[in-house]
Amino acid sequence: MSISRVSTETLSDSRGSETISVCLTTEDGIRGCASVPQGKSTGSFEAVSIPAGIAHEVITEVVAPALIGKSFPTQKEFDTCLMELDGTPQKEKLGANTILACSIAFARLSADEKNISLSDYLRSQYTGKIGEGVPYLFMNMINGGAHATNNLAIQEYMLALKANTIAEAYSLGVSVYEALGKKLGDVGIGDEGGYMPDFDDDSAPLRLYTEVLDEMGVTIPFAIDAAGNEIDRSNEELHALYVAMAKEFPLMYLEDPFREDQFDAFQKLQAVLPDTIVAGDDLTVTNIERSKTAKNNESVRGMIIKPNQIGSVSETLGMIAKAREWDWFVAVSHRSGETDDTFIADLAHAVGADAFKCGAPKQKERVVKYERLIELFK
């Protein structure tokens, strides 16, 4: 399977910012394409994404000449070729977005060449434990922090939806989202499709959730992404806030409660909240070495998986396998600036993720991912 053509273009993500797409074509005419998302609240230990215009030039002038005429028997060999071409620890030369777009495009191309689904192909490349059952849907229905223009310090207030099928969980999520909209009236929408009114305090969105769910007669646990890097408060103040939230509300999941370098603060919080999964995002950045530090410090019991934090399909699968080895909760996630690429839905299905985090059921870039997950879990 020799690559004969590499093409790229720039396009707009869900925030209207420029990002890139890549298509790889073989000499037999098989084609695989991919576009990559972008985060706004990003950790400093993430692999480096470069501006879309520069990425376009890098693909045309550096990556394409290195790939055309070459054959790659496995995903790992393809990804290794690009990482060696880059040659930097955080992919500063080619850009994690450049490498990931090519990596996902190659995965799609390989799946088509084998006449199997992308999910089946990813599972064939994955060596870790596969989770069982359907994942939670983490729907971010109230936005704050860097994803909104309201007064909330916390970035994401999510509902952790679970049912016998993804379709049932998604339908319930849509119903709750619509009920929230009716109660809130004419308010703005944040980066991930959630409502963004001002509130009296940072626990008020959870009280609103409780009110709406009680009126609907349903019980759904809560999940929070605090995005601690963006919050200008002391660890002591934040610790007290989270403990109070967990005492008052069914808080099953708490992501990035503190800044990305506060391993000990994470550990202290996890120790006093045994019924809440404290998880890393900026703390762990889909990176095995960072995650080993979190594991050794007993800082978390789970992590977010964002392929563009690390930059390739192979590294993403390797991180998930390691997380499973540690018995961590695994949540596959979108980014705040999304495209209509549905890769993460196939990834979540392939590895049996515990949760799928994809924002509110509002913007088309997120809805298509939910629809793909529904299709995969039929």
Dihedral angle computed from the Cα positions of residues 224, 228, 231 and 237, in that order, rounded to the nearest 10 degrees: 80
**Per-chain mean pLDDT for the chain:** 96
pLDDT at residue 367, as a whole number: 97
Mean pLDDT of 68-76: 96
| C-beta of residue 311 within 8 angstroms of C-beta of residue 55 | no
Token pair recorded at residue 193? 């499709």
The model's pLDDT over 20-44, given as tens digits with 9 standing for 90+, comes to: 999 999 999 999 999 999 877 677 8
pLDDT at residue 214, as a whole number: 98
pLDDT at residue 344, as a whole number: 98
% the chain with pLDDT above 90: 95
* Rounded Cα gap, residues 257 and 25, in angstroms: 43
The model's pLDDT over 77-116, given as tens digits with 9 standing for 90+, comes to: 999 999 999 999 899 999 999 999 999 999 999 999 999 9
* Rounded Cα gap, residues 302 and 296, in angstroms: 13
Kind of pairing between the strands at 156-161 and 222-225: antiparallel
| C-beta of residue 375 within 8 angstroms of C-beta of residue 367 | no
Residue with tokens 């008052």: 248
Token pair recorded at residue 134? 């359907």
The alpha helices in 185-262, defined as continuous H runs, are: 204-216, 235-248
DSSP element (H, E) containing 161: strand 156-161
Active site residues: 192, 306
Q: What are the chain's domains?
A: 3-125 (3.30.390.10), 136-376 (3.20.20.120)
Nearest to 73 by CA among 125, 28, 115, 5: 125
Q: pLDDT grade, residue 294 (50/70/90)?
A: very high
Token pair recorded at residue 41? 């609240």
- Burial of 69 from C-beta contacts in 10 A (0-12 / 13-18 / 19+): exposed
Mean pLDDT of 3-21: 95
The model's pLDDT over 317-362, given as tens digits with 9 standing for 90+, comes to: 999 999 999 999 999 999 989 999 999 999 999 999 999 999 999 9
% the chain with pLDDT above 70: 99
pLDDT at residue 44, as a whole number: 87
pLDDT at residue 290, as a whole number: 96
pLDDT at residue 222, as a whole number: 98
| C-beta of residue 339 within 8 angstroms of C-beta of residue 15 | no
Alpha-carbon Rg for the chain, nearest whole angstrom, is: 20
Total residue length of the chain: 378
Q: Could you say which DSSP state residue 261 is in?
A: T
Instruction: List, in sequence order, every residue forming a beta bridge with 72; answer none if it has no partner.
Output: none
- Burial of 184 from C-beta contacts in 10 A (0-12 / 13-18 / 19+): middle
pLDDT at residue 146, as a whole number: 84
Nearest to 284 by CA among 41, 45, 42: 45
pLDDT at residue 41, as a whole number: 64
Contacts of 249 (CB under 8 A, 6+ apart): 203, 206, 209, 210, 222
DSSP element (H, E) containing 8: strand 3-12
The alpha helices in the chain, defined as continuous H runs, are: 52-58, 64-67, 75-86, 96-114, 118-125, 166-184, 204-216, 235-248, 263-272, 288-296, 307-310, 313-325, 343-351, 364-376
Mean pLDDT of 265-293: 97
The model's pLDDT over 134-167, given as tens digits with 9 standing for 90+, comes to: 999 999 999 998 888 899 999 999 999 999 999 9
Q: Could you say which DSSP state residue 146 is in?
A: G
Residue with tokens 């909240």: 273
First to last CA, the chain: 32
Indicate the SS3 state at residue 229: helix
Indicate the SS3 state at residue 327: coil
| C-beta of residue 353 within 8 angstroms of C-beta of residue 330 | yes
Mean pLDDT of 121-143: 96
Token pair recorded at residue 42? 């990003």
pLDDT at residue 101, as a whole number: 97
